[in-house]
Amino acid sequence: MAIPVALCFLMVGESLADHLMSQLIRVVGSLNMDLVVQVPHQPIPGETVLGSDYITYPGGKGANQAVAAARAGGQVQMWGAIGSDGFGHSLRENLQQNGVDTEQLQTFPGPSGLALITVDPSGQNRIVVSPGANGRYTPEHLPPFTPAALLLLQLEIPLPTVLAVAEQAFAQGIPILLNPAPIQPLPGSLLRQVRYLVLNESEAAQLTQLPIETSAQALIAAQRLQEQGIPSVMITLGGAGLVWVDGVEKGYLPAYRVPVVDTTAAGDGFCGALAAGLVAGGSLKQALRFASAAAALAVTRAGAQPSLAHRAEIEAFLAEQRYF
Ligand code: RIB
């Protein structure tokens, strides 16, 4: 009897449904339409700056990380909410085109999430988010939590929803990767449920109240966060690379040198690719290298989701590098 190829990879006693769930990355988070304008410089308070024509890009930290994980080879499902406007329709369609399962994505009457973004010639951005449907995605909208390999969370949906879904995942032993952006004070109970914490230097400085101007200071902050019960902490330092602590191991990885066009969603590209790398079964260090390459590729291109790298490009990019 012929055995279907997919079944050849099943473990003894494992059903196909179990196998698929064992690879699933579930993202619970935000979806925004980004309205982006290139500006000669960022306006100071009270100043009006003339910029380029605006461009709309699908964005939102949750959706960006879902697309990044899917393009990096992950099997991804997105939970969250869009509005009943045209932006909501495009945001759902875009996720589907990227192979993300949107079965549990809910549509609420009213506007979708919207981000107003200005990007200056150095590629740095300023972002204002109007949460729309994301802000109305409260705990009672969460579907029952089913098995997954990893839960990927950010903070662009209400904190009670993040706490409720983390609670359920933790109770089922599902590892949680938290990217606490935009940063806000977090209860110790949440931090103790997190397996992987990924944050940038300003978020880490706010969370720890420690100064972070050097990689040595970032390492101290990462260790401080680890003392709160998080096994693995990674602090990204933009063009200066990243530091990580994992159990008793710790380290520094330099950033890949690339031309910077637009830094929007580079952190999301990092988190999504890291999730895909971890679920694929590599070591944390291998997954970090993969994620750094994904982030480097993202800054070379404009926009949030259009800038996110596919697995083949990430692998080709890594193959060209001379270091780590
Ligand atoms: O991290 C980048 C994202 O932040 C943008 O896509 C924007 O929507 C905001 O959520």
- What domains, with CATH codes, occur in the chain? 20-42+50-319 (3.40.1190.20)
Ligand 1 atom closest to the Cα of residue 181 is 1
Ligand 1 atom closest to the Cα of residue 304 is 6
pLDDT of residue 21: 64
Q: Is 53 a catalytic residue?
A: no
In the chain, the amino acid numbered 258 is V
80 lines ligand 1 (CB under 6 A): no
Peptide bond into 182 cis (omega under 30): yes
34 lines ligand 1 (CB under 6 A): yes
pLDDT of residue 282: 86
DSSP string, 102-128: -TTEEEESSPPEEEEEEE-TTS-EEEE
Burial (CB < 10 A; 0-12, 13-18, 19+), residue 188, is exposed
The Å distance, Cα 141 to ligand 1 centre, comes to: 22
Instruction: Count CB neighbours of 16 within 10 A.
Output: 12
Burial (CB < 10 A; 0-12, 13-18, 19+), residue 28, is buried
pLDDT in tens, the chain (324 residues): 333 333 334 455 566 556 556 799 999 999 999 999 999 999 999 999 999 999 999 999 999 999 999 999 999 999 999 999 999 999 999 999 999 999 999 999 999 999 999 999 999 999 999 999 999 999 999 999 999 999 999 999 999 999 999 999 999 999 999 999 999 999 999 999 999 999 999 999 999 999 999 999 999 999 999 999 999 999 999 999 999 999 989 999 999 999 999 999 999 999 999 999 999 998 999 999 999 999 999 999 999 999 999 999 999 999 999 755
What whole-number distance in Å separates Cα of residue 50 and Cα of residue 271?
A: 33
The Å distance, Cα 153 to ligand 1 centre, comes to: 14
pLDDT of residue 11: 54
127 lines ligand 1 (CB under 6 A): yes
For ligand 1, atom 1, the nearest C-alpha belongs to 265
155 lines ligand 1 (CB under 6 A): no
* The pair of three-digit structure tokens given for residue 91, joined into one six-digit string: 């945001």
The Å distance, Cα 167 to ligand 1 centre, comes to: 25
59 lines ligand 1 (CB under 6 A): yes
> Angle, nearest 10°, between helix axes 311-320 and 284-299?
100
pLDDT of residue 18: 62
For ligand 1, atom 10, the nearest C-alpha belongs to 60
Ligand 1 atom closest to the Cα of residue 264 is 2
